[in-house]
């Protein structure tokens, strides 16, 4: 029933029994995803109470199935027969055990309290952000930090409670490893920024900032770009939402969203490319993994490596705009009349420190993540207090980016993550950037002439390479394994340095 093609999983009775439960679990999760997608796109405001109840009932059913004896017995039985198993069987067992363990470690009362506090905090964060007043969010955040610490205890850790949280989002990542990575990234970024400061090149971005662009034209151009990227509209669609995101119900039904930003139209354009990158990944997971826990990206970091790869390594390259700029210029004739493709490419790659992470350029982006990593770790380890956050935030902004946000809205309150208890999530953004750089050099080595292919509109070969080496496996391999199998070494931030040097020496001419 799952697929017309042969199964990737072995024919063993215990695996088949395990799959039966895995399919049900995944179906329930995907039903929730449909409801969630609708909530963010088309649901009228009045639907929120009904929707919250529906989602909460569904979550209860999911939790019950996930923590059932039926599942753990099936996992245990399948584990005993793994001698005859293939790589998909093993990964299925590994991932199901992982989500089972996470679910049973948290008492039901604790999960209920989490849900209550998060939904309250979502409101107070929004209000605090609107009024740019951290104090309106501080009490809820204090409670969240307590809850998150408790969660780390339930999950267990050896060195730092923050390890337990990192592992939720990027399996295998520890604070120690992350600290080493960020130390390197800090030095790399500092070196590049120093060179940019010394550069005599000034970049004109004014034409990106004027208001009054037609929304329809932006939409149509975005759709064309998604087609260039080989996003399949037979198996996916794009809609509008307040915050761009991507989600999937099946490899044959992947949703991405975009928003329109006026005046800075390129931020919605690159948002489209970014979500398109996430979407292409999900569309190309082998359909025979559908309805199982393996049918999704390997981790948040690996997922982000793909969105960033498309957004930056392809989407902000000169060869990509050699291909797409004539069409863009035709679409926005008046605005781009006197702007050459080189001017445009420089403008979309200009480096300016920004208050917010989402607006950051490729060079300063990771400093925003570094700042959050340090703050989160100290908060969870009890070294700093919630009420001191605005001050600490601004001091770190000053130190790392040389600017201080004028208010909390553009500072400590800018991101939604903490209101939902997502501590340990931010580092995956930097992991994604670093993975992407390392993959980029492998792809260039394996496909000489890559830039020329892009300029000719032959982007397919990149997608095919990524499908063959990453996408089709879904969650079959762990993040470390993926990067090792693909590039021949473990994560190495030096590739990111090489990339920045190569690119920005051209943008800023040194
Ligand atoms: Co992303």
* Residues in Cβ contact with 393 at an 8 Å cutoff, skipping those fewer than 6 apart: 371, 375, 405, 411, 412
For 312-338, letters b (16+ CB in 10 Å) and e give bbbbbbbbbbbbbbeebbebbeebbee
**pLDDT average, residue stretch 98-111:** 94
Spatial CB neighbours of 109, under 8 Å, sequence gap ≥ 6: none
Residue 271 CA, ligand 1 centroid: distance in Å: 9
Q: Which of 29, 275, 282, 497 is catalytic?
A: 275
pLDDT reading at 218 higher than 70: yes
Quote the pLDDT of residue 5. 63
Helix extents (H) in 284-386:
300-308, 318-331, 333-336, 341-347, 365-380
For the cut 90, the answer to whether the pLDDT of residue 247 exceeds it is yes
Q: What is the mean pLDDT of residues 183-193?
A: 98
pLDDT in tens, 307-327: 999 999 999 999 999 999 999
Q: Are 315 and 266 in contact (CB under 8 A)?
A: no
Ligand 1 geometric centre to CA of 250 (Å):
19
pLDDT of residue 234 exceeding 80? yes
For 2-30, what is each residue's pLDDT tens digit? 444 689 999 999 999 999 999 999 999 99
How many Å is the maximal CA-CA distance in the chain? 69
Tokens of 362: 């490729």
**Percentage of residues of the chain with pLDDT beyond 70:** 99
pLDDT, position 132: 97
Residues of 65-79 as b/e, b for ≥16 C-beta within 10 angstroms? Answer: ebbeeebbebbebbb
pLDDT digits 0-9 by tens, 413-464? 999 999 999 999 999 999 999 999 999 999 999 999 999 999 999 999 999 9
How far, in Å, is the centroid of ligand 1 from the Cα of 307? 6
Cβ atoms of 315 and 503 within 8 Å: the answer is no
The answer to whether 481 is a known catalytic residue is no
Ligand 1 centroid vs 275 CA: distance in angstroms? 6
Question: CB-based contacts of 297: which residues, under 8 Å, 6+ apart?
Answer: 278, 281, 282, 285, 303, 306, 474, 475
Q: Please compute the mean of the pLDDT values over residues 43-47 and round it to a whole number.
A: 93
Residue 361 CA to ligand 1 center (angstroms) comes to 15
Between 262 and 35, residue with greater pLDDT? 35
Q: What are residue 258's DSSP bridge partners?
A: 240
Q: Is the per-residue pLDDT at 266 higher than 90?
A: no
Helix (H) or strand (E) holding 206: helix 206-209
Query: Residue 4: its pLDDT value, please?
Result: 47
Q: Return phi, psi of residue 250, to 5°.
A: 180, 155
What's the pTM value of the predicted model, to 2 decimals?
0.95
Expressed in angstroms and rounded, the spacing between residue 89 Cα and the centre of ligand 1 is 29
Give tens-digit pLDDT for 51-84: 988 998 999 999 999 999 999 999 999 999 888 7
Instruction: Work out the average pLDDT over 474-487.
Output: 97
């Amino acid at each position: 029933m799952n697929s017309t093609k042969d199964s990737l999983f072995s024919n063993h009775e215990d695996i088949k029994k395990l799959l039966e439960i895995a399919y049900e679990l995944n179906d329930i999760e995907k039903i929730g995803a449909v409801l969630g997608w609708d909530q963010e796109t088309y649901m009228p405001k009045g639907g929120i109470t009904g929707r919250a109840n529906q989602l909460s009932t569904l979550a209860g059913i999911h939790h019950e199935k996930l923590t059932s004896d039926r599942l753990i017995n099936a996992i245990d039985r399948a584990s005993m027969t793994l001698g005859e198993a293939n790589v998909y069987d093993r990964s299925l067992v590994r991932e199901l055990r992982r989500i089972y363990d996470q679910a049973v470690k948290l008492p039901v009362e604790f999960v209920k309290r989490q849900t209550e506090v998060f939904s309250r905090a979502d409101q107070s964060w929004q209000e605090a952000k609107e009024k740019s007043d951290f104090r309106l969010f501080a009490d809820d955040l204090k409670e969240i930090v307590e809850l998150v610490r408790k969660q780390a205890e339930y999950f267990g850790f050896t060195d730092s409670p923050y390890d337990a949280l990192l592992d939720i989002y990027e399996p295998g990542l520890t604070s120690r490893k992350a600290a080493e990575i960020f130390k390197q990234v800090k030095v790399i970024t500092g070196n590049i920024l120093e060179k940019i400061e010394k550069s005599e090149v000034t970049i004109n971005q004014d034409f990106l900032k004027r208001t009054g662009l037609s929304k329809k034209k932006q939409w149509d151009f975005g759709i064309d770009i998604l087609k260039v990227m080989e996003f399949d509209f037979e198996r996916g669609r794009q809609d509008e939402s307040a915050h761009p995101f991507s989600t999937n119900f099946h490899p044959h039904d992947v949703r991405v969203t975009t928003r329109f930003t006026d005046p800075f139209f390129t931020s919605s354009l690159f948002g489209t490319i970014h979500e398109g990158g996430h979407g292409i990944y999900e569309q190309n997971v082998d359909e025979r993994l559908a309805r199982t826990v393996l049918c999704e990206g390997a981790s948040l970091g690996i997922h982000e490596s793909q969105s960033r790869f498309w957004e930056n390594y392809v989407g902000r390259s000169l060869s990509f705009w050699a291909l797409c700029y004539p069409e863009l210029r035709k679409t926005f004739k008046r605005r781009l009349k006197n702007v050459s493709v080189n001017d445009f490419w420089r403008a979309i790659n200009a480096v300016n420190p920004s208050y917010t992470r989402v607006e950051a350029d490729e060079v300063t982006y990771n400093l925003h993540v570094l700042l959050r990593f340090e703050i989160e770790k100290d908060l969870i380890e009890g070294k700093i207090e919630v009420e001191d956050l605005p001050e600490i935030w601004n001091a770190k902004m000053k130190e790392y980016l040389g600017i201080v946000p004028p208010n909390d809205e553009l500072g400590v309150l800018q991101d939604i993550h903490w209101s939902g208890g997502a501590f340990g999530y931010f580092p995956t953004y930097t992991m994604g950037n670093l993975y992407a750089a390392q993959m980029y050099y492998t792809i260039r080595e394996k496909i000489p002439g890559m830039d020329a292919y892009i300029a000719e509109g032959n982007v397919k070969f990149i997608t095919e390479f990524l499908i063959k080496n990453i996408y089709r496996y879904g969650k079959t391999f762990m993040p470390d394994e993926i990067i090792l199998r693909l590039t021949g070494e473990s994560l190495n931030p030096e590739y990111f340095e090489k990339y920045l040097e190569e690119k920005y020496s051209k943008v800023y001419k040194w």
